[in-house]
């Protein structure tokens, strides 16, 4: 993480970006504190004054920015002071969908975050990623962890393990465990958790196998994937089909031991990733990553149903958070391997719409992720651990994104990609720790 915080760009962001970022995260973090169980008598007044001064200073610094940015800043100013005035006078209305205390945070935050997004576009639209040699093709197919285990690192076993995409398993297992924690809380049984994680690992393995079966020809044309077992024909396609189907059947059997609903959802997840995403979306639309984000949200719902046969609002909010996080996370990789995707013919967002629009959409989806996080914080009744983790690592992720705007390169997009992984990982761990203990 030190490299994320200490990295210095060749093009430094202007003061207006620093101040506008401060306004966004100040409203967001102080807002979370305000709706938490923490009792800090002077903080609401001090934060109102501090953020108010920062907003006025931001308006001054952005006086020469685009009309769009200046309009959003004035809208944010009106929302921030107007809503807080209503709150201070004790005239807060009762709203049917969201509590007024949440709107005080979300509406100004949205206006200022959009202003930050369009301001970054205004300043950095002429910045492009320099021509760099594509990342070297890996000579080994298995992950670095597996390569250290004598029996697992040798083919053909290592090739079959690689088909399952093992690098995805740890994060998706955390996602499923978070879904169980939200649904069952401390009453979650160890047997249920272990069976759900086992079933999930088998389902991920089946999905990864089917994905590589359908993309074997495409993988041969991409440096990043050219050494996959099916691309190099180290494993026959028929064997891969048998392996994938066996994993899928085993997954459904495990989930059926918990309840029928979870096994149906597991089958739906396998089919969505393998067929809807891989076959229908990925080769045909630039929105493949966005819609495909549903696949990453499935483990939350599956975990919740496996634990209690129910899908509470908090589980839906976490699933939505992961849905929006997915493009904010993956679009960094799409920029790193843009040439690879061009070579393969896949219409990834970075290929179809270019670097500038992709960078802007990373911010759009990250902002949506933060909105979901504060909704989850409120409705799941999370506390200080989630608040602290979300505050710290959302700043780290946002700053990594900003740096990638001012110095677009494979290294800065990789930092942003890593920051996104860290953000979601620690967020999920905080949910599990808070709700299970």
Report d(CA 243, CA 332) in Å as an integer: 32
Percent with pLDDT over 70 in the chain:
92
pLDDT in tens, 13-59: 999 999 999 999 999 999 999 998 787 788 888 999 999 999 999 99
Two tokens, residue 172: 């998706």
**CA proximity to 427, closest of 373, 371, 380, 378:** 373
Lowest mean pLDDT among 132-136, 198-202, 378-382: 132-136
pLDDT at 7: 43
Which tokens belong to 68? 């769009």
Q: What pLDDT is stored for residue 4 in this prediction?
A: 47
Say how far residue 350 (Cα) sits from the centre of its chain: 17
Predicted local confidence at residue 337, as pLDDT: 92
Contact between 197 and 122 (Cβ < 8 Å):
no
- The angle subtended at Cα 336 by Cα 335 and Cα 342, nearest 5°, is 65
pLDDT at 329: 96
Tell me: the pLDDT tens digits for 47-69? 999 999 999 999 999 999 999 99
DSSP state for residue 36 in the 8-state scheme: S
pTM (2 d.p.): 0.91
pLDDT tens profile 212-225: 999 998 888 888 88
Instruction: Please report which confidence band the pLDDT of residue 5 belongs to, taking 50, 70 and 90 as the band edges.
Output: very low
- 289 or 2, which is more confident: 289
Q: What is the pLDDT of residue 132?
A: 61
What does the pLDDT look like over 257-289, one tens digit per residue? 999 999 999 999 999 999 999 999 999 999 999
CB-CB contact of 362 with 401 (8 Å): yes
Q: How many CB atoms lie within 10 A of CB 50?
A: 15
- Spacing of C-alpha 262 from chain mean position: 24
Please, where are the H alpha helices in 89-189?
100-124, 157-163, 169-184
What are phi and psi for residue 152, nearest 5 degrees? -80, -20
Give me the pLDDT at residue 152, please. Answer: 60
User: Is residue 388 classed exposed, middle or buried when 0-12, 13-18 and 19+ CB atoms within 10 A define those classes?
Assistant: middle
The runs of H, that is alpha helices, within 35-156 are 43-61, 67-88, 100-124
Q: What is the pLDDT of residues 90-142, one digit of tens each?
A: 887 888 888 999 999 999 999 999 999 999 999 999 988 887 655 554 444 44
Whether the pLDDT of residue 346 is over 70: the answer is yes
Confidence at 247, pLDDT banded by 50, 70, 90: very high
Distance of alpha carbon 405 from alpha carbon 105, whole angstroms: 26
- Average pLDDT over the chain, rounded to an integer: 91
Percent residues over pLDDT 90 in the chain: 76
């Amino acid at each position: 993480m030190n490299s994320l915080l200490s990295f210095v760009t060749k093009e430094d962001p202007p003061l207006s970006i620093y101040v506008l970022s401060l306004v966004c995260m100040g409203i967001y973090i102080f807002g979370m504190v305000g709706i938490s169980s923490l009792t800090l008598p002077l903080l609401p007044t001090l934060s109102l004054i501090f953020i108010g001064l920062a907003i006025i200073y931001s308006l001054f610094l952005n006086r020469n920015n685009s009309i769009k940015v200046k309009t959003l800043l004035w809208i944010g100013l009106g929302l921030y002071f107007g809503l807080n005035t209503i709150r201070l006078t004790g005239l807060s209305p009762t709203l049917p969908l969201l509590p007024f205390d949440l709107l005080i945070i979300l509406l100004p935050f949205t206006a200022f975050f959009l202003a930050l997004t369009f301001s970054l576009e205004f300043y950095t639209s002429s910045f492009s990623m320099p021509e760099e040699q594509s990342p070297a093709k890996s000579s080994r197919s298995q992950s670095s962890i597996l390569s250290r285990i004598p029996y697992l690192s040798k083919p053909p076993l290592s090739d079959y393990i690689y088909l399952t995409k093992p690098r995805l398993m740890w994060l998706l297992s955390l996602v499923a465990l978070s879904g169980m924690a939200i649904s069952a809380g401390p009453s979650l049984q160890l047997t249920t958790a272990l069976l759900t994680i086992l079933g999930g690992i088998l389902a991920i393995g089946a999905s990864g196998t089917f994905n590589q079966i359908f993309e074997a020809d495409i993988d041969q044309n991409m440096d990043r994937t050219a050494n996959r077992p099916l691309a190099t024909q180290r494993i026959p396609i028929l064997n891969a089909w048998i392996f994938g189907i066996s994993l899928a059947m085993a997954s459904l059997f495990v989930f059926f031991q918990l309840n029928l609903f979870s096994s149906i959802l597991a089958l739906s997840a396998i089919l969505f990733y393998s067929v809807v995403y891989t076959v229908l979306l990925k080769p045909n639309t630039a929105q493949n990553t966005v819609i495909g984000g549903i696949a990453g949200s499935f483990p939350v719902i599956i975990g919740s149903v496996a634990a209690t046969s129910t899908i509470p609002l908090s589980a839906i909010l976490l699933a939505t958070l992961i849905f929006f996080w997915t493009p904010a996370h993956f679009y960094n990789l799409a920029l790193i391997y843009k040439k690879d995707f061009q070579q393969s013919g896949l219409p990834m967002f970075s290929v179809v719409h270019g670097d500038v629009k992709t960078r802007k959409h990373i911010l759009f989806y990250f902002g949506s992720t933060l909105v979901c996080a504060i909704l989850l914080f409120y409705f799941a009744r999370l506390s200080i651990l989630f608040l602290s983790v979300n505050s710290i690592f959302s700043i780290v992720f946002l700053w990594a994104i900003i740096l990638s705007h001012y110095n677009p390169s494979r290294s800065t997009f990789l930092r942003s990609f890593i920051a996104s992984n860290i953000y979601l990982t620690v967020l999920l761990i905080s949910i599990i720790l808070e709700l299970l203990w």
